[in-house]
Structure 1
Amino acid sequence: MKVKSTPLQDCYIIEPTVFEDDRGYFFEKFNEKTFEELTSQNGHFVQDNISKSSYGVLRGLHLQKGEHAQAKLVSCLEGKVLDVAVDLRPDSPTFGKWYSIELTAENKLQLYVPRGFGHGFSVLSKTAVFSYKCDNFYNKESEGGVLWNDSDLNIDWQLPKKDVILSEKDMVMPAFSKGNF
């Protein structure tokens, strides 16, 4: 496993060591001890989530607030997504900055999104299956987020606006300037 820094403080790209031969491939998707040694972050995850979405679906930007805040280790198991992390920690030197990366079934990359970050993704392939490992349990009352097309953030989701498919919740998220995080 290799860990690469992103421009955002405490947010990392995880690249597995893949062993391939004529039968296929094998890789260790997660190892708590190695993860903690390489990132200095808590690697104890308590909940795994999977979503399947079609082209144009945009999920985000979401986070859990307060005592229910969640760090996530995310990956794409099928298809291709543009994954986006936004630092929403007011005391962070990278507050208000975002980072995006293509996660695909082929590249097998993962992104570690720390607590206090907004997170979302857009589906760039016909369908995508997305995996989230979370270090805290989901709590509906602790939901927060930022509007996906907030002009202060100016995120390029790599989708034509006419193709974006949103949930009702994502259509009415507050602006970054409202600080719902």
Structure 2
Amino acid sequence: MKFLPTPIPDLIVIEPQLWHDDRGFFIETYNQKLFASNGITATFVQDNLSCSRRGVLRGMHAQAGENAQGKLVRVLRGRVVDIAVDIRKASKTYGQSFSITLDEHEAKSMWIPPGFLHGFVALEDDTLFAYKVTGFYDKSGEIGVRWDDPDLHIDWPMNPEELIVSEKDRQLPFLKDISSPF
């Protein structure tokens, strides 16, 4: 497993070793010792899975408070463009985003610590997206920012009219209109 830093401190891309043979493949997706030796000492408490059709955009979300969530995310089937935005007030990269394509073939994952907004857009039908999180779901800690906030400078890979965005996500505020709890 390789742990690759990104331009935003603490946001890490994990590239697994894939073993292929005539039966298929095998990968190790999580190893507590390897993660800890690379600075990820989080305790995971809940696993989530979403299935999305092409064009579904989920985001930009975070969970703060007592159950603030760090997320280890990966694609089990399909392909997404995954985005994380730093909303840690004291960070030099506050408001900056990082994007990566995650898919079932390369099997990369990304560690998104608490203090980041997260979202993705599915590029294929029936995309399965897995989240391993460090905090239990807590509606009172939900925060979010509009996916199309011009201050985030996110280059989504599809035209806005192709995107399927929930009404709830369409009503989220802009980053400049929230007070980050991180």
TM bracket, shorter-chain basis? over 0.9
Correspondence for 2:109: 110
What is aligned with 1:144? Answer: 143
Partner of 1:95: 94
Q: Deviations over 1:77-118 (max 9, x none)?
A: 000000000000010111110000000001100010010100
The DSSP-based 3-state class of the residue aligned with 2:151 is: coil
Q: 5+ unaligned residues in a row in structure 1: which ranges? A: none
2:171 aligned partner: 172
Q: Which runs of 5+ in 2 are unaligned?
A: none
Q: Which amino acid aligns with 1:65?
A: A
For residues 120-179 of structure 1, give each alpha carbon's deviation from its aligned partner in whole angstroms, at most 9, with x where no partner exists.
Answer: 000111220000000111100110011000011121110111111111110011101012
After superposition, residues 65-76 of structure 1 pair within 5 angstroms as: 65-76=64-75
Within 1, Cα distance between the matches of 2:145 and 2:173?
Answer: 5
- Give 1:33 deviation, angstroms: 1.5
Question: How large is the Cα RMSD of the aligned pairs?
Answer: 0.9
Q: Distance in 1 between matches of 2:40 and 2:107?
A: 21
The number of residues matched between the two structures is: 180
The one-letter amino acid paired with 1:25 is F
Match of 1:127 in 2: 126
SS across alignment from 1:76:
strand
Instruction: State the AA in 1 paired with 2:2.
Output: K
Identical-residue share of aligned pairs (%): 45
Give the distance between the partners of 2:81 and 2:126, measured in 1 at CA.
Answer: 13
> In 2, distance between residues paired with 1:161 and 1:94?
26
List structure 1 runs of 4+ shifted beyond 4 angstroms: none
Please give the alpha-carbon distance, in whole angstroms, between the structure 1 residues aligned to 2:31 and 2:70.
16
